[in-house]
């Protein structure tokens, strides 16, 4: 099978390749087209992948290219992980919002909307190329904000595009491990939109084990979510919120922590990632760049969300995400999830996974064509949401409002309308005044050329 990775020069590509090397069953991926607009990053990543593939006689062939058509043509699967505007764009997403006194974050709040608005047109062009040159391919979208991007692409590709996020399954795995249970055997009752959802039950042999965890001070306190939300709030909710709900439930605290930490996550990554690519390019041919990548990726995982905890960005925590690197190289993480979806579809090995798919009546209060993040069955027939208990009013209310916002962002990106963009910012639950929304709109247009290029009307 041919796999195409869009954004192949990106920092997490080696995780995908490692997961492919570990995949032994048939059919498996034999060719990987790596596409990126940045030839030098592409060369760095290709060198790392070749290093990883050495010693594997059946390692998938690597075809690096900056030609989108060649990359996509004839693919069985397309993975998409791009960052339009690069890390510089991410920094502006965060800072324009913080300057306006509201949350500045990669995907949650106005930053995610600015990110979506400039990314959607690029992803729609890609969707058209897939439709023309790989009409039977499944697109596994990691590009953030994953829910919005997936929904926009479904307009062209329908159910052949689905969105992947590692946070719901990561939470499920950590819950299971904390109770000493095999993560592969738990069933997760999760509902939400991407980066906005709740783990309501964790079933093991037909029994919900979540109440056991919620009652256990030591175990709940050791869980990242226990530290973020506090034990009392989780117990009050009776469910474990996705870590991104922190930005909704503790908005002021999050903004204060980010501001007092001195720099945003984007600022930290821009420095550390630039340094990584520079160092990788400077080493002698044949030197061990894979180990440089490994140590850089470990620090990145260990410092995830540091600024939300009030730590200086880049501060590594022992407990926090200590298992993230392990997770990535084993079954978990974005790569593990994506390769598992691909295996289930191509080998008709039916499995259950939490994915971003078309609602189709799963959540009664949301439109059928809204993309939601819920448990699904995945097999050769595609991806189908499982029926589930309905959300409570707060959950539904928040999902409805954010979905309305997402749709204004999609309309802004597809029509170029500033009025639509203004509505997206103004209606967002984390933006508390229309005047702030106006400031955000003009700030993003002024600071991010890729946003200005889209919002022309």
Out of Mn ion, ligand G6P, none, what residue 200 binds, judged by CB under 5 to 8 A for its kind, is: none
Tell me how far apart the alpha carbons of residues 304 and 252 are, in angstroms, rounded to a whole number.
Answer: 19
Tell me how far apart the alpha carbons of residues 125 and 199 are, in angstroms, rounded to a whole number.
Answer: 35
Residue of 167, 257, 261, 376 that binds ligand G6P (CB under 6 A): 167
**Under 8 Å between Cβ of 418 and 441:** yes
Q: Which is nearer to ligand G6P, 117 or 455 (CB)?
A: 117
Q: Does 257 bind ligand G6P (CB under 6 A)?
A: no
Tell me how far apart the alpha carbons of residues 67 and 446 are, in angstroms, rounded to a whole number.
Answer: 30
Which residue from 19, 120, 4, 14 is spatially nearest to 69, judged by alpha carbons? 4
Q: Count the Cβ atoms, other than its own, within 10 Å of residue 355.
A: 26
Out of ligand G6P, Mn ion, none, what residue 304 binds, judged by CB under 5 to 8 A for its kind, is: ligand G6P
Q: How far is the CB of 393 from ligand G6P (least distance, A)?
A: 26
Q: Does 144 bind ligand G6P (CB under 6 A)?
A: yes
- What is the number of helices (H) and of strands (E) in the chain? 21, 13
Q: Does 196 bind Mn ion (CB under 5 A)?
A: no
CB-based closest residue to Mn ion: 165
Q: Does 423 bind ligand G6P (CB under 6 A)?
A: no
Whether the link from the prior residue into 145 is cis, omega within 30° of 0, is: yes
Which residue from 322, 424, 361, 356 is spatially nearest to 117, judged by alpha carbons? 424
Tell me how far apart the alpha carbons of residues 164 and 77 are, in angstroms, rounded to a whole number.
Answer: 14
Q: How far is the CB of 79 from ligand G6P (least distance, A)?
A: 14
Residue of 165, 302, 440, 454 that binds ligand G6P (CB under 6 A): 165
Tell me how far apart the alpha carbons of residues 360 and 376 are, in angstroms, rounded to a whole number.
Answer: 12
Q: Does 165 bind Mn ion (CB under 5 A)?
A: yes
The count of chain residues that interact with ligand G6P, using the rule CB under 6 A, is: 8
Q: How far is the CB of 355 from Mn ion (least distance, A)?
A: 12
**Under 8 Å between Cβ of 35 and 66:** yes
Tell me how far apart the alpha carbons of residues 291 and 309 are, in angstroms, rounded to a whole number.
Answer: 29
Q: Does 354 bind Mn ion (CB under 5 A)?
A: no
Q: Which is nearer to ligand G6P, 280 or 325 (CB)?
A: 325
Q: How far is the CB of 260 from Mn ion (least distance, A)?
A: 25
Which residues, 291 to 310, sit near ligand G6P by CB under 6 A? 300, 304
Q: Does 166 bind ligand G6P (CB under 6 A)?
A: yes
Residues in touch with Mn ion (CB under 5 A): 165
Instruction: Report the interface residues with ligand G6P, using CB under 6 A.
Output: 144, 165-167, 265, 269, 300, 304
């Amino acid at each position: 099978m041919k796999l195409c990775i869009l954004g192949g020069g990106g920092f997490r590509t080696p995780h995908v390749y490692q997961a492919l090397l570990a995949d032994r069953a048939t059919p498996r991926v034999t060719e990987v087209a790596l596409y990126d607009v940045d030839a030098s990053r592409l060369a760095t990543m290709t060198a790392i992948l070749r290093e990883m593939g050495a010693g594997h006689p059946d390692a998938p062939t690597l075809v690096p290219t900056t030609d989108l058509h060649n990359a996509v043509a004839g693919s069985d699967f397309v993975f998409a992980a791009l960052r339009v505007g690069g890390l510089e764009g991410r920094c502006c997403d965060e800072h324009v919002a913080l300057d306006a006194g509201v949350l500045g974050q990669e995907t949650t709040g106005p930053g995610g909307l600015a990110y979506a608005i400039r990314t959607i047109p690029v992803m729609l062009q890609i969707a058209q190329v897939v439709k023309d040159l790989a009409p039977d391919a499944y697109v596994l979208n990691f590009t953030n904000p994953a829910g919005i991007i997936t929904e926009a692409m479904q307009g062209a590709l329908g159910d052949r595009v689905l969105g992947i996020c590692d946070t719901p399954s990561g939470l499920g795995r950590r819950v299971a491990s904390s109770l000493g249970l095999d993560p592969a055997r738990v069933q997760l009752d999760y509902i939400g939109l991407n980066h906005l959802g709740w783990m309501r039950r964790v079933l093991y042999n037909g029994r919900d084990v979540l109440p056991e965890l919620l009652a256990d001070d030591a175990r709940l306190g050791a869980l990242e979510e226990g530290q973020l939300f506090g034990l009392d709030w989780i117990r009050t909710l009776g469910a474990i919120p996705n870590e991104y709900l922190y930005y909704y439930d503790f908005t002021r605290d999050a903004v204060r922590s980010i501001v007092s930490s001195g720099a945003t996550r984007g600022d930290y990554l821009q420095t550390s990632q630039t340094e990584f690519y520079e160092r990788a390019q400077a080493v002698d041919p044949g030197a061990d760049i894979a180990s440089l990548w490994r140590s850089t990726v470990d620090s990145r995982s260990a410092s995830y969300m540091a600024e939300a905890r009030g730590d200086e960005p880049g501060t590594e925590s022992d407990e926090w995400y200590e298992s993230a690197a392990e997770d990535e190289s084993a079954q978990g993480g974005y790569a593990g999830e994506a390769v598992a979806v691909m295996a289930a579809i191509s080998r008709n090995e039916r499995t259950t996974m939490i994915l971003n798919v078309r609602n189709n009546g799963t959540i009664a209060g949301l439109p059928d064509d809204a993309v939601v993040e819920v448990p699904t069955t995945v097999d050769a027939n595609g991806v189908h949401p499982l029926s589930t208990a309905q959300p409570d009013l707060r959950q539904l209310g928040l999902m409805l409002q954010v979905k309305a916002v997402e749709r204004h962002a999609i309309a802004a990106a597809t029509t170029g309308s500033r009025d639509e963009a203004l509505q997206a910012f103004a209606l967002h639950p984390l933006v508390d005044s229309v005047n702030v929304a106006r400031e955000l709109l003009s700030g993003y247009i002024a600071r991010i050329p890729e946003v200005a290029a889209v919002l022309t009307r």
